[in-house]
Amino acid sequence: MQHGLLFQRVSSLGINYGQVGDNLPPPDKVLQLLSSLHINKTRIYDTNPQVLTSFANSNIELFVTVENQMLPSLVNPQQALQWVTTRIKPYFPATKIGGIAVGNELYTDDDSSLIGYLVPAMISIHGALVQTGLDKYIQVSTPNSLSVLQESYPPSAGCFRPQVAGVMTQLLSFLRSTKSPFWINAYPYFAYKDSPTKIPLDYVLFNPNPGMVDPYTKYHYDNMLYAQVDAVIFAMARLGFKDIEVGVSETGWPSKGDGDEVGATVANAAVYNKNLLRRQLQSEGTPLRPNMRLDVYLFALFNEDLKPGPTSERNYGLYQPDETMAYNVDLLSSSTTSSQSSQSSTNSIISLTSSASTAIKGGNQRLIHWTCVSLLAIHMIIRRPY
């Protein structure tokens, strides 16, 4: 493979390595694939010892996860110490574990009883890392769904839901004290699927489009993902936290869906990932933080055949389980233009070069202004269940 010519230059890009399938390649083969792509960061949804062992002495940094159901027991500092001693310490530093995700989307999970355990468990796990001397190397955070936001349009109006604001204050205090990022799972795809006649497809796909302007900050947004990130930053600022980094722990686009899953096509998945990676090549920030590179974990490495839910849930992967590409990804293409999604075919190619042009910025173009009600529907994204 020669696909690594792109990824070796994108240090801000990682990929989610889910394992909800019965036909996925073994971890040593996955390591070879990631290495061939020169991807140096990946996130897993557990602390699978086979993965941790296989990734030893590689250049790939792992972002591991504490499963949601484990949080109540890990509030106990001794249990947290035992978890770190058995799940993390034996593999570090041979395996580059750079972060621990404590749970996943606790604020929007169906079992809301776990929310109260989140920050105490994070404090206990961080305390265990301090005791074992690993806190200087391993950050502790948690991925959140964008539905933690009460409002997200315009981005400057971003605020958290009242029912989670109290816990958010505790979480943000912890993140500030440990200098850890706030992670969000953001899927513009869901906004388009729910309102395909109201939301410009090019806006969610990073294609050239007029974009929208925040009427208060006057910042111009040419894609939905950056608007979502800035809404989170404004929401944190409303609680008094202006200095915490925000990263995207999941984003992606399905290449296949059910009949009612509008937009879940090979062509759109190719364009979304192509354009996102182009932005990553340029180490872009958002309009609110233009000089702060946005770290992103793409979802996902593989299609996973055992995932529940609609067809789209099993078709987010860049690769099939047999390590063939789910769609044509020509990482060596010299193309510098984004194909219009309405004209894309199933042969759409992800063309990724350092000189790739980005979506239109500024100019004497008509800027689209939606109503608050419309944009609230557009930007408030229902979580993608994992």
The SS3 assignment for 13 reads strand
Active site residue 250: yes
Amino acid at the residue 24: L
Closest CA to 60 of 87, 91, 105: 91
Closest CA to 113 of 75, 146, 64: 75
Evaluate whether 22 touches 305 at the Cβ level (below 8 Å). Answer: yes
Amino acid at the residue 180: S
Evaluate whether 43 touches 65 at the Cβ level (below 8 Å). Answer: yes
Which letter does DSSP use for residue 292 in this model?
A: S
Distance CA 47, CA 89 (A): 12
Which of 61, 67, 105, 323 is an active site residue?
105
Distance CA 358, CA 195 (A): 25
Q: Which two tokens stand for residue 92?
A: 């570090």
Phi and psi, residue 359, nearest 5°? -65, 155
What torsion, rounded to 10 degrees, do the Cα atoms 341, 345, 351, 355 define?
A: -40
The total of other beta-carbon atoms located within 10 Å of residue 354's CB is 11
Which of 151, 250, 261, 313 is an active site residue?
250
Distance CA 288, CA 230 (A): 6
Phi and psi, residue 368, nearest 5°? -80, 130
Residue matched to tokens 């964008």: 146
Evaluate whether 294 touches 248 at the Cβ level (below 8 Å). Answer: yes
Closest CA to 11 of 248, 274, 354, 280: 280
Bridge partners for 100 per DSSP: 64, 140
Q: Which two tokens stand for residue 180?
A: 């850890």
Q: Which two tokens stand for residue 360?
A: 């239109």
SS3 content of the chain, % helix, strand, coil (to 5): 35, 15, 50
Q: Which residues participate in catalysis according to the annotation?
A: 105, 250
